Amino acid sequence: MSRLQLILIVTLAGILALGGALIFASKQKGKPLSEAFPMRINNATISVELATTPAAQERGLGGRRNLPENQGMLFLYDKAARYSFWMKNMQFPIDIIWIDENKRVVDITKNLSPATFPNTFQPTKPARYILEVNAGFADRNAIAIGNAVDLSRIPAF
């Protein structure tokens, strides 16, 4: 095999590997959440991915093309506070449901558009758990301030 043939083969293999990686990465954005856990809020059951590290909490759902129906992301904090949320890198609108340390809904921010970035949003009262879901989820499921939230199937509860 000549040196030119070897260079061509290595270059072609690199191009194919890069193309495969790009295709894999693009398909990952639309996939259902990884390691989803069930929780209940009012009469709705939803599967949630947990955001427990500062990096995961900063990224949130940013960069994803969509969120499958009845799925969401649950942000877990050690203590209740008025945490700020933004729509950085978001590609679809969401509802944010703010939950206190007693596992009660204390506020709801509905239909947040990606166009609101860089504005930030906070609850009116301290929250320890924050749930991000598709826009309209709160209305479709009659979620209201004061609703109890069942987190018993979430690890560490």
Kindly state the percentage of the chain with pLDDT values over 70. Answer: 78
Domain ranges of the chain: 1-30, 37-150
CA distance 73 to 62: 11
Residue type present at position 122? Q
CATH of the domain spanning 37-150: 2.60.120.1140
Three-state secondary structure call for residue 99: strand
Identify the pLDDT of residue 130.
98
Question: What's the mean pLDDT in 1-25?
Answer: 49
Examine the pLDDT at 52 and tell me if it is beyond 60: yes
Q: Tokens in use for 126?
A: 């301290």
